[in-house]
Structure 1
Amino acid sequence: MGWWRALGSRDADAVELMDDPECDEAALAKTYARFTPVNRAVSAPRERYLRWIRPRLSPVFETRLLDVGTGAADLPALWLRWAAADGLRLRVTAIDPERRALDFAAARTAGLEGLTLLDATTAELAAADEHFDLVCSNHVLHHLDGREFGALLADSERLAELGGTVVHADIERSRLAYAAFAVGTLPFEATLLRGSFIRADGLTSIRRSHTAAELEAILPAGWRVRRAFPARLELVWQADAAGRSRV
């Protein structure tokens, strides 16, 4: 039961298998391929679409969304399909520092209208004076060290400064979340998740993640933490047209 005690503090030194540049390529591809069903279960993409994205969409004017650390681009693909089904206009720019992820995403989303995959960083987009109506990420925050965390928030404010909204979603670390993921994924370890890093890296991700109190203690002015189900946290920042936070 050592993990039970260890989850009382964040394990920033734990390393996910898929973050290893020398990791098994076949296992990495299987991990990317399993992101869609796993994220549907743990990331609440439909709830996020209805709360944060759909209210900002229009059948006439195009809404620009930036997805940071997109991975296999499974969430942007869902959001684009839901927006199209609703008769609303959405364009997603999806970025990731991992070239292998972008290559996989490009193959899986070929022909999907409204999606642009870019090998770019938030700093590069901000320096290029790009602006978006929505800036989002999913399960990115726990990968970052303190400097990277602060830089992402600062970049996000610049990218959404013209009346945009930022929502960075991540896991909330808790013993219950760890136990639920461990038990919930166990029956699929030899089937759906076989040969992937999903189960091992999911548990590592929870150990690396923050609690709401930890995030609230380090957030800059203008940001707030919102709790969401299941075991999720959302860091939210909203600006008016002058770039001032409205949170």
Structure 2
Amino acid sequence: MSLSVRDAELVELMDDPACDPRRLHATLRRFDTVNRLFSGWGATYRRVLRPALLGLDRPARVLDLGSGGGDLVTRLARLSRRDGLDVTWVGADPDPRSLDVARARAAPGIEFRVTDAAALRRAGETFDVVISNHVLHHLSRDELAAFASDSLALSRGRVIHSDIRRSRAAYGLYAVAVTPFAPGTFLRTDGLRSIRRSYLPRELGDALGPRWRVEAASPFRVLAVGNGDA
């Protein structure tokens, strides 16, 4: 199997509306562990998100697009509280199956909604920062363009999209490291498919266009940062 070319035709098992609901629930729950191990959001928070929030010098409102089971929102909310920041968090995901898991993680200052970027834009919503994690590789080229445009329109400040960086090293490391957490979930199969669907930095930069700064956040991560239009 070659990872030199992005495999955009792969479909992840959990994206099937008819997938096993018990395995889906377990997958959404265990994303908390997987994201802590692999997503790099601790560094992204310190280097990009926290400075953007500190620069506001006022209470902030942050949107997480494609928030899934809500683990990233709750983690970032804890980090921001530890830093003395006043932030309201909104997790948005169009898949209602994720809502039960996400709402179990709800806390003061955190709200979860079944919606997407396009609907929020049509409703005239705006936020101080918009983020996403592991969304971009799911999208077709046209969907990616629309998602990028919507996310810029929703933000008064930074837009931060974090995703997997395709590589043999990422594929091999993930295949081994996720195994203890994978039984009863889609984590191993879908994670490996996600890596095969994911972008190299230059590929993502070409797809998003000049309004975005795309960089390799680590050997296994790619980060796209833009400035909002709202």
TM-score, normalising length: structure 2: 0.94
Residue 194 of structure 1: aligned partner: 183
| Residue in structure 2 matching 1:211, options 189, 197, 200 | 200
Residue 24 of structure 1: aligned partner: 20
TM-score, normalising length: structure 1: 0.88
| Amino acid paired to 2:212 | W
Unmatched 5+ stretches in structure 1: none
| Residue in structure 2 matching 1:66, options 63, 68, 78 | 63
| Residue in structure 2 matching 1:227, options 205, 213, 216 | 216
Residue 226 of structure 1 deviates from its aligned partner by: 1.4
Residue 93 of structure 1: aligned partner: 90
Unmatched 5+ stretches in structure 2: none
User: In 1, are the aligned partners of 2:160 and 2:226 still within 8 Å (CA)?
Assistant: yes
| Residue in structure 2 matching 1:166, options 142, 146, 159 | 159
Residue 179 of structure 1: aligned partner: 172
Residue 88 of structure 1 deviates from its aligned partner by: 1.3
Cα deviations by residue, 1:107-148 (Å, 9 ceiling, x for unpaired): 2x13x1111111111111112222111110000001101111
Identity, in percent, stands at 43
Residue 147 of structure 2: aligned partner: 152
SS in 1 for 2:42: helix
Residue 72 of structure 2: aligned partner: 75
Aligned-residue CA RMSD in angstroms? Answer: 1.7
CA distance in 1, matches of 2:28, 2:6: 25
SS in 2 for 1:95: strand
- CA gap of 1:72–1:230, structure 2 versus 1, over 3 A, is farther
CA distance in 1, matches of 2:173, 2:218: 13
Q: Indicate the larger mover: 217-226 or 88-97.
A: 217-226
CA distance in 2, matches of 1:21, 1:34: 19
User: In 2, are the aligned partners of 1:10 and 1:210 still within 8 Å (CA)?
Assistant: yes
CA distance in 2, matches of 1:42, 1:56: 23
Residue 28 of structure 1 deviates from its aligned partner by: 0.7
CA distance in 2, matches of 1:14, 1:222: 28
| Amino acid paired to 1:213 | R
Residue 60 of structure 1 deviates from its aligned partner by: 6.7
CA distance in 2, matches of 1:211, 1:232: 9
Q: Larger radius of gyration, structure 1 or 2?
A: 1
